[in-house]
Chains A and B, each alone.
Chain A
Amino acid sequence: MAIAADIPRIRVRDCVVGFGDRVVLDHVSIDVMAGEILGLVGGSGSGKSVLMRTIIGLIPKRSGTIEIMGQNQDTLSDEDRQITQRRFGVLFQHGALFSSLTVLQNVQFPMREFLRLPEHLLAEIAATKLAMVGLSRKDADKFPSELSGGMTKRVALARALALDPELVFLDEPTSGLDPISAGEFDALIRTLQQTLGLTVFMVTHDLNSLHMVCDRIAVLAQGKIAADGPISEMMLSEHPWVKSYFRGPRGQLISQRLQHASV
């Protein structure tokens, strides 16, 4: 089911989400094109994660439409929705690894459910996926509680990529990592995105990631998309929140450093 390259992989129109009498997303519209890394930023509690969870179908919306791979998620049958779900992978903020399964079993889990493969193939391919995200075969038998934060994120990424999805959702992939690990993780996302031809929807707070990885950035503020464009446009934006985010003391420091590095 190849779809035309010019159809957005994710297309959100007038999406409204609220809890009780609080409206979190107020008529949000956003597109993510094929092969693009979109970074979604916004203050704490601005509804970034809510938007991501609404797109992947974990939070019900009040109105609006959401299309993934050109298919309206509301009109799909359960079976078709499951097929769509197999075409995207999700990296949750805290990994959400199954705590009673080993690292290898976590990566095998979606494969075991959806592909009928013999045990030796499952083991070898899962080990290969682990190596692709930079883990060694020695780590395969560890349990999630024995992993460091960086390793947890890597295993979660390997599990998100287990079925070779076309679209990957990343919820704060570098949060809680030290700068070196975060940098390595950024590079890993970039490499995998290029070799596997992924489309990436990334919720992040990390200014470095936004500079290094994202092709396009969308800013969520007051329940709406306040700005949308490449990092160079963000640096020039006059929207007060965008300005203080990208040109505040931390933002200035990083953009200066990156400019020095590239000269």
Chain B
Amino acid sequence: MNHTATARLGVELGAGSVQLSATGDWSARNALALDAAVRNAVEVAPRGLPVSLDLSGVDEIDTFGAWHLANLAKALAAQGSVASVTGLAPRFAGLLTLVGQASEGDAMPPPARWTPLGALEKIGRNTADAWASLALLVNMLGAIGDAAGRTLRHPSTFRLTSAIHHIDRVGLQAVPIILLITFLIGCIIAQQGFFHFRKFGADDYVVDMVGILVLREIGVLIVAIMVAGRSGSSYTAELGSMKMREEIDALRTMGFDPIQVLVLPRVLALVIALPILTFLGSMSALYGGELVAWLYGGMSPDIFVARLKDAISITHFKVGMIKAPFMALVIGVVACTEGLRVGGSAESLGLRTTASVVTAIFLVIVLDGLFAIFFASIGM
């Protein structure tokens, strides 16, 4: 047996009978050649004639070769030919019998192909899935409310350590990156403002724009999106792998409510951390704006602060801060729901983590829009 060994199936047509002679190495590496040889032999052999198959020239048979022999016998039988086998080495007899039995059964169905109807079905399924996801989110929101109610009635059941741990992870540890990113955003807004407003001599209004934009919208939005990507994904992955390894089932059988033990501290940590991060982020963005105004716009810090005092009121600050806990709730609910939806496979963990981040960011922006309408109508 070596790398160049080939496998052949010779066909000799005699008067009233067919001689097939198999030679060489009937093993995995020749499987493709054997497939062609077997098809050819079956095609060439006239129907209904007796066939004698000589295996004395075969050096090696593995399951691939044995499968081809079984396949050949089946195809010949289907043509009405009677096959007789000679020259089979005894050491291969057991293998041929085993594979012959194992290869019985219906042909495997071909892999599914794209069809217009199938595509339509997929759209339908995805739509139904989207509604089901929404229902699950509402369900989770209710479960969290219920768990919070029970915890309020029995405060000793609250997982304080876990909550503090998560506040540290999603809050304190996120501070440097949040400060950096919001600082840069503040710088960019101010620079763009000066660059374009200068054309019609409205430099002074850059301060109004930076102040209102950062406090009302950008600060909270950037921080929420960052937190959804940073902490939402880690919540989903954590809960998902716990689900995969049956840890959540274990909790449940010990009489713990996974919502109360795992979800509530996580969501609460986000609800506490996000407003703090929003405040820090907004301050950092204003500082970035001030720095650019000074270095790029030639406006001294004193003037910037004085103008800022006129331009913004406490209302703008309140609008931003009020939104933060609601956005935190959305991120937490989405992340935990998706985490608990993880199934048995590694792929589903990836799929759910992606869905968690995408859904959370989408809902945060939708929520921001709804708040904009709400604040406009109450005159804030």
Bound together, the chains give a CA A236 to CA B63 distance in angstroms of 40
- Knowing A2-B1, A127-B108 touch, does A195 contact B67 (C-beta < 8 A)? no
Give the interface SS of chain B, mostly helix, strand, loop or mixed: helix
Interface string of A111-130 (1 = CB under 8 A from B): 10001111111011101110
Interface string of A95-107 (1 = CB under 8 A from B): 0001110001000
- Knowing A119-B111, A195-B94, A195-B98 touch, does A131 contact B103 (C-beta < 8 A)? yes
Write out the residue numbers on chain B whose beta carbons fall within 8 Å of the beta carbon of A118.
Answer: 32, 35
Answer whether residue B105 sits at the interface, using C-beta atoms and an 8 A cutoff.
Answer: yes
CB–CB A146/B344 < 8 A = yes
Give the interface SS of chain A, mostly helix, strand, loop or mixed: helix
Among A53-61, A137-145, A210-218, the stretch in contact with B: A137-145
Write out the residue numbers on chain B whose beta carbons fall within 8 Å of the beta carbon of A119.
Answer: 110-111
Answer whether residue A132 sits at the interface, using C-beta atoms and an 8 A cutoff.
Answer: yes
- Knowing A128-B67, A194-B94 touch, does A140 contact B108 (C-beta < 8 A)? yes
Bound together, the chains give a CA A69 to CA B27 distance in angstroms of 19
CB–CB B110/A117 < 8 A = no
Closest to A83 in B: B3
Interface string of A130-168 (1 = CB under 8 A from B): 011000110010011110000000000000010110000
- Residue from A104, A125, A129, A131 whose CB has the most chain B CB atoms within 10 Å: A125
Smallest beta-carbon distance B375→chain A, Å:
45
Answer whether residue B222 sits at the interface, using C-beta atoms and an 8 A cutoff.
Answer: no
Write out the residue numbers on chain B whose beta carbons fall within 8 Å of the beta carbon of A125.
Answer: 31, 63-64, 67
Answer whether residue B212 sits at the interface, using C-beta atoms and an 8 A cutoff.
Answer: no
Answer whether residue A1 sits at the interface, using C-beta atoms and an 8 A cutoff.
Answer: yes
- Knowing A121-B35, A132-B102 touch, does A143 contact B345 (C-beta < 8 A)? yes
Closest to B103 in A: A128
Smallest beta-carbon distance B104→chain A, Å:
7
Smallest beta-carbon distance A150→chain B, Å:
17
- Knowing A99-B346, A125-B63, A164-B62 touch, does A117 contact B102 (C-beta < 8 A)? no
Smallest beta-carbon distance B29→chain A, Å:
7
Answer whether residue A196 sits at the interface, using C-beta atoms and an 8 A cutoff.
Answer: yes
Interface residue tally of chain A, by bracket? 35 or more
Partner of B28, one of A131, A144, A146, A163: A163
Bound together, the chains give a CA A145 to CA B98 distance in angstroms of 29
Partner of B344, one of A121, A145, A195: A145
CB–CB B67/A137 < 8 A = no
CB–CB A128/B107 < 8 A = no
Closest to B93 in A: A195
Smallest beta-carbon distance B95→chain A, Å:
5
Bound together, the chains give a CA A217 to CA B348 distance in angstroms of 42
Answer whether residue B302 sits at the interface, using C-beta atoms and an 8 A cutoff.
Answer: no
Interface string of B87-103 (1 = CB under 8 A from A): 00001001100110111
CB–CB A100/B346 < 8 A = yes
Write out the residue numbers on chain B whose beta carbons fall within 8 Å of the beta carbon of A131.
Answer: 101-105
Bound together, the chains give a CA A123 to CA B344 distance in angstroms of 24
Smallest beta-carbon distance B25→chain A, Å:
11
Write out the residue numbers on chain A whose beta carbons fall within 8 Å of the beta carbon of B32.
Answer: 115-118, 121
Closest to A145 in B: B344
Which B residues, 1 to 23, have Cβ-Cβ distances below 8 Å to chain A?
1-3
Partner of A100, one of B3, B91, B94, B347: B347
Smallest beta-carbon distance B32→chain A, Å:
6
Interface string of B26-62 (1 = CB under 8 A from A): 0111011001000000000000000000000000001
Answer whether residue B343 sits at the interface, using C-beta atoms and an 8 A cutoff.
Answer: yes
Write out the residue numbers on chain A whose beta carbons fall within 8 Å of the beta carbon of B310.
Answer: none
Interface string of A164-199 (1 = CB under 8 A from B): 100000000000000000000000000100111100
CB–CB B95/A99 < 8 A = no
CB–CB B28/A115 < 8 A = yes
Interface string of B323-365 (1 = CB under 8 A from A): 0000000000000000000011111100000000000000000
Write out the residue numbers on chain A whose beta carbons fall within 8 Å of the beta carbon of B28.
Answer: 111, 115, 163-164
Closest to A196 in B: B95
Bound together, the chains give a CA A118 to CA B39 distance in angstroms of 14
Partner of B345, one of A100, A117, A140, A161: A100
Write out the residue numbers on chain A whose beta carbons fall within 8 Å of the beta carbon of B343.
Answer: 145
Bound together, the chains give a CA A28 to CA B105 distance in angstroms of 47
Smallest beta-carbon distance B72→chain A, Å:
13
CB–CB B344/A143 < 8 A = yes
Smallest beta-carbon distance B5→chain A, Å:
11
- Knowing A124-B67, A137-B105, A196-B63 touch, does A132 contact B98 (C-beta < 8 A)? yes
CB–CB A164/B102 < 8 A = no
Smallest beta-carbon distance A84→chain B, Å:
14
Bound together, the chains give a CA A232 to CA B71 distance in angstroms of 44
List 30 A–B pairs whose Cβ atoms lie within 8 Å, in order of A's numbering: A1-B3, A98-B346, A99-B345, A100-B347, A100-B348, A104-B108, A115-B28, A115-B29, A115-B32, A116-B32, A117-B35, A118-B32, A118-B35, A119-B111, A120-B108, A124-B107, A125-B64, A129-B102, A137-B105, A144-B345, A145-B343, A146-B344, A161-B63, A164-B27, A164-B62, A164-B63, A194-B94, A195-B94, A195-B95, A197-B91
CB within 8 Å of A: which residues of B? 1-3, 27-29, 31-32, 35, 62-64, 67, 71, 91, 94-95, 98-99, 101-108, 110-111, 343-348
CB within 8 Å of B: which residues of A? 1-2, 98-100, 104, 111, 115-121, 123-125, 127-129, 131-132, 136-137, 140, 143-146, 161, 163-164, 191, 194-197
Shortest 5 CB-CB contacts between residues of A and residues of B: A145-B344, A100-B347, A131-B102, A99-B345, A123-B108
A-B contact sample (11 more), CB < 8 A, given A117-B32, A120-B108, A196-B62: A99-B345, A100-B345, A124-B103, A125-B31, A125-B64, A125-B67, A128-B102, A131-B101, A144-B345, A195-B95, A196-B63
